[in-house]
Amino acid sequence: MQDSWALALLLVALAVLAGCGNDDGPDATTSAPVRTATQPALATRPAGTGEIVVRGESSPAIHGPFTFEGRYLVRFEQYAPEDAALDFTSQVPFEATLTRREGDPRGAVALVEPAAARSGRRELTIDGRFHVDVSFGDFPYVLRFTPRD
């Protein structure tokens, strides 16, 4: 009888472990994120005309290049799928910049204020081809560039 209980417990443990993990590896990307109730609207709303939406699961990460022309409202938001009420002011500050060449910090333009926060926004005039370089942030994030008229 004890052997059957041990075998049953082992099978349950293996079933639980089989559901854990990610076979895609740490550098895998997908064309569209899985939408969950914990993702902010900034991440789940489809891109509007001329909008550029950048999503990521972790940093560091470089996205692009993207072509910009004119004035943009730049918004970012971090989220914690496991804790929707997380206070981001006690976390590592999210840092993202625009760079002309991948990995080249010369002439980088800061996209967000250097404070730890769940979200932020600013307006910038951006002209040319740039990469979005997310160098710091411990949580999934989204950046949305909305053209201003």
* Predicted pLDDT at 118: 85
* Predicted pLDDT at 26: 34
- What CATH number does the domain located at 49-149 have? 2.60.120
* Predicted pLDDT at 9: 44
| Low-confidence stretches of the chain (pLDDT beneath 50) | 5-36
d(CA 18, CA 15): 5
* Predicted pLDDT at 13: 43
* Predicted pLDDT at 37: 52
* Predicted pLDDT at 149: 76
Query: For the whole model, what pTM was predicted?
Result: 0.71
Residue 134: which of 73, 56, 74 has the closest Cα? 56
